[in-house]
Structure 1
């Protein structure tokens, strides 16, 4: 594919990634304006949509409440200005996945660098345009932060996707050079770097799946409390829809909170609060229906949830163990130990990033601290997955046959399952002249006896010599045909040539 076309497609991916996230917010607000619900102001729709999009890309917002609102609601004036930084990670997840797919597609098309640069520059330009055109008095953010963080959320996954795609299909450049360098490592260590990356991907997907299952289980177990908070909000159909959409974009954030709960450190819902399997200590919570899934008290049985990350590590270790090569029937310990430690350390790093992304402020006062802590979550996930990894990686491999035994078992197997044909020597004279045919039938082509024996099937039985014809037919040149089945001699050839010259009436003697 042409590089210009790849660049254009990557730019289109960047446009769709930015427009899709903003449209999720702008479309419902536009419907509210069209139907005149709540008397919305059209000039405020774009700044509000851009502010939500920025918050979804980890940009902190400074909210300033007007004096008229404070007077009408009776809110303490000290809470008139606060920071909102707990991100609805659905926006960041959408942008990151779209960027990773764009980078991988450009790499598979043979122009990873071109596609990555094109998409990154276009998305950065769009982020700059959104940041400069969405200034508002009530909701503000730092301009450079509003440009940098959304751009990084696209640039980094796009780069990762480009590297993965280049590793898969090759790039005739640095990725292939790195692969060649890794192939030169000892046989037991050559697969370790690729297995580390595969292991981190497996543990990350497994832990996210565990968090999602726990969220669903909590919503089902405490559905009565969730429905009660919906009813207490006294929202009409439109308000209930807006609340549901707001909770939906925070669903990835809730999954990471559930993962922190399963791992043990838990998460906070305000200053000096904690929600863990061992104990729950929370005060007054906002009337958000999904927070009804937070347990009021805990049980000692919830401590068994820590076995889920251990199980994820064990499953990952089993998959990696089956892909590790044997070296002359020997299974060295050092590569397996290094593999398990590396995957566990990187998984802990992923847990720390998840804690950073899923923590922040959701309001003034004590609500300024919510979410898990990076350090405890990283340590817990690293140790739990390490335990599961080492159980499977360091255990003996059952049912695996060493390479030496397989070589000995296949040593006596013949390469061919049929008998080889005998080779006939090449007869140059017979190839040039061929045997004299015993009969010639016009229109039937050359008889099979004319072909040299080297062109025949080696397994075919040689035909019986045909009987000598009763009468000798005249030759086409007027001379008698040869009565012998053998090849004509030189004298016969010369005689036929003289006869042909004589029949033509030319007095010139043929050249010998």
Structure 2
């Protein structure tokens, strides 16, 4: 029995009819929900704390205390949830998107455990949700906030100080997303939407565009990830040399490799920015675009060994800008399948354009959430410019989508 199951209640027992009776909790409902939220946060913190403490035990620093690795683990846990670290000119704001997504998913599972005991037939809270559901979600959120507050206090014992204004992201945004995902799963099984939510519905054009947008986003991220993997394979000698120069040892090397794999979506977004036009920068003064790559003193991160050599690229490389256009063609073709064959040009173009805009906005949001700072001065602004990436990628996708829509309408009028 897991900790969450223990907090939720004991095993069901058989009643006189042989049917399983509902689980009986050994705690008051309010205390159980708070403890579920606290346990959710502490369990995900352990995922980061265990390898951090093990690494410290294998290679302890002279004069350091046991509180230092615990403080570092708390800082890293808050970092992967969107908080910023650093002091003065130093600012670390980089979220490996795989780890960030896992944190939200894990929190949503904990919230779902708490919401499973809520009474869905209760009266409405502000005509939005049943009162019991809203109360359970609020108490779970409070318990998770206690875990975040404890981790924030624990960072004072480590060498990675927390930028306190940024603690609002793990305190508010992450649990909000977790509760939303848990409510969505619950809504598929129970009628929990209040009168105000039942009448809300996305516009028809958005509903039709969502499917093509998801497919387009998957294609873009997949292509970006494949490009990163291909670059690592082609320049494996440089990557492996950097890995050995780090001297992280066995456990440290495994953790470093895991962190780089968790950052694969971030690097894929950098590739998308490259082919879309804005490019990306690993350090200030070392910008990479379709025109070429500039040199600079790189951080000692093995995957950066896959960077192209400094210098101008052949003119044919500029043709990569057609990749987003071709993905836009794919999005446009998928959009055409969501509308009637004889629909007007305006109807078809609207769905295609909205799908392309949705893809570009999500890419920009992911890039913004991933962060773009690994330190001070030349490392204070790295990665892709989220705003320019959104605008240029959206424009290129729209061009491709409108081309295929126009071709379809022209064929029908022949």
Tell me, yes or no, whether TM beats 0.5: yes
Aligned to 1:145: 166
Name the CA shift for 1:396/1:240 in 2 (closer, same or farther; >3 Å). Answer: closer
Number of equivalenced pairs? 371
Aligned to 1:376: 388
1:178 aligned to 2:191?
no
8 Å Cα contact 1:13-1:98 kept in structure 2: no
Aligned to 2:101: 93
Distance 2:207 2:32 in 1: 29
8 Å Cα contact 1:264-1:380 kept in structure 2: yes
Name the CA shift for 1:365/1:130 in 2 (closer, same or farther; >3 Å). Answer: same
Name the CA shift for 1:99/1:29 in 2 (closer, same or farther; >3 Å). Answer: closer
Distance 1:261 1:191 in 2: 34
- What SS does the aligned partner of 1:282 have? coil
- What SS does the aligned partner of 1:61 have? coil
> How far is the alpha carbon of 1:47 from its aligned partner?
0.8
8 Å Cα contact 1:54-1:150 kept in structure 2: no
Aligned to 2:45: 22
8 Å Cα contact 2:216-2:359 kept in structure 1: yes
TM-score (ref. length: structure 2): 0.75
Q: 1:230 aligns with which of 239, 243, 263?
A: 243
Deviating more after overlay: 202-211 vs 136-145: 136-145
Give unmatched runs, 5+ long, in structure 2: 1-20, 121-127
Aligned to 1:32: 55
Aligned counterparts, 1:296-307, within 5 A: 296=309, 297=311, 298-307=313-322
Question: Which structure has the higher relative contact order (CA within 8 Å, separation 6+)?
Answer: 2
- What is the alpha-carbon root mean square deviation over aligned residues? 3.9
> How far is the alpha carbon of 1:50 from its aligned partner?
0.7
Q: What CA deviation, in whole Å up to 9, does each residue of 1:9-62 have, x standing for no partner?
A: 987885575345422321112323555655663121221101111221222212
Q: Which structure has more helix as a fraction of its residues?
A: 2
Name the CA shift for 1:17/1:278 in 2 (closer, same or farther; >3 Å). Answer: farther
1:315 aligned to 2:336?
no
> How far is the alpha carbon of 1:237 from its aligned partner?
3.0
Name the CA shift for 1:148/1:29 in 2 (closer, same or farther; >3 Å). Answer: closer
TM-score (ref. length: structure 1): 0.62
- What SS does the aligned partner of 1:141 have? coil
Aligned to 1:426: none
Aligned to 1:156: 177
> How far is the alpha carbon of 1:290 from its aligned partner?
0.8
Name the CA shift for 1:369/1:178 in 2 (closer, same or farther; >3 Å). Answer: closer
Distance 2:155 2:364 in 1: 32
Aligned counterparts, 1:5-84, within 5 A: 18-35=41-58, 37-38=60-61, 41-63=65-87, 82-84=90-92
Name the CA shift for 1:136/1:36 in 2 (closer, same or farther; >3 Å). Answer: closer
8 Å Cα contact 1:96-1:158 kept in structure 2: no
> How far is the alpha carbon of 1:100 from its aligned partner?
5.9
Greater Rg over alpha carbons, structure: 1
Q: What CA deviation, in whole Å up to 9, does each residue of 1:105-155 have, x standing for no partner?
A: 969x99594275455444333222322343236332233422444530331
Distance 1:339 1:116 in 2: 36
Q: What CA deviation, in whole Å up to 9, does each residue of 1:146-200 have, x standing for no partner?
A: 2444530331364266458748986564444235xx7xxxxxxx74231133333
Distance 2:183 2:403 in 1: 34
> How far is the alpha carbon of 1:285 from its aligned partner?
0.9
Deviating more after overlay: 114-123 vs 333-342: 114-123
Distance 1:259 1:247 in 2: 18
Aligned to 1:286: 299
Distance 2:266 2:169 in 1: 21
Distance 2:242 2:302 in 1: 5
Aligned to 1:480: none
Name the CA shift for 1:172/1:156 in 2 (closer, same or farther; >3 Å). Answer: closer
> How far is the alpha carbon of 1:399 from its aligned partner?
12
> How far is the alpha carbon of 1:339 from its aligned partner?
1.7
> How far is the alpha carbon of 1:260 from its aligned partner?
1.7
Give unmatched runs, 5+ long, in structure 1: 65-80, 183-189, 401-512
Q: What CA deviation, in whole Å up to 9, does each residue of 1:234-287 have, x standing for no partner?
A: 454344334323433433322222222232211112223311122111311122
Name the CA shift for 1:8/1:200 in 2 (closer, same or farther; >3 Å). Answer: farther
Distance 1:116 1:171 in 2: 13
1:134 aligned to 2:155?
yes
Aligned to 2:351: 339
- What SS does the aligned partner of 1:370 have? coil
Aligned counterparts, 1:196-215, within 5 A: 196-215=209-228
Name the CA shift for 1:206/1:165 in 2 (closer, same or farther; >3 Å). Answer: farther
Aligned to 2:7: none
Aligned to 1:252: 265
8 Å Cα contact 1:268-1:372 kept in structure 2: yes
Q: What CA deviation, in whole Å up to 9, does each residue of 1:338-385 have, x standing for no partner?
A: 222222223332232233223422123312221111221011210122
Aligned to 1:357: 369
8 Å Cα contact 2:236-2:306 kept in structure 1: yes
